[in-house]
Structure 1
């Protein structure tokens, strides 16, 4: 299993904006066959070093992650994220 973790900082860090983007991410659930699991969490401490949203997704293989990356539903999410991100996101992919 491959776990893909992405952390996002948004331009608008208001609770409403964060929740709206969280829902965009959660909306992928059940719509991309290779996406085996998804978890989306929002930061509760709001520290200067905090990111606003964490996305954790799981796939059977790196090939499935590549399929996910170009899936039309994920492309829509990426377009949304491009508009709302402050330019900062980080990711890590690991075998689990």
Structure 2
């Protein structure tokens, strides 16, 4: 299994409605992309976040599933929406989980 972690920073805080839309679309990916075991996303509440406002974790059943995730049209729609809402930066960490 693979854990995929993403942190998202915006140039300016988008309206709550737009953040809710990002979260809803992201959580729905499990219904469209094979290989997703679990997916969680939420707003950051820590004051240690250095401006990163959203956190995402996706657990995949394999590295191959992670590789199929990135170019998948549903995932690319979310990336495009994030850019529309003022995406400034993302940090991504991927690692294998112990078996």
Unaligned stretches of 5+ in structure 2? none
Aligned to 1:66: 67
Q: Give me the TM-score of the superposition, normalised by structure 2.
A: 0.80
Q: Who is 1:31 aligned against? A: 32
* Aligned 1:17-96 pairs, distance under 5 A: 17-45=18-46, 49-96=50-97
How far apart in 1 are the matches of 2:29 and 2:86? 18
- Name whichever of 55-64 and 13-22 sits farther off: 13-22
- How far, CA to CA, are the matches of 1:53 and 1:87 in structure 2? 12
Secondary structure, aligned partner of 2:26: helix
Contact between 1:43 and 1:50, CA under 8 Å: does it hold in 2? Answer: no
CA contact (8 A) 1:2 1:58 kept: yes
Is contact 1:9-1:86 (8 Å) kept? yes
Question: How far apart, in 2, do the equivalents of 1:68 and 1:86 lie?
Answer: 20
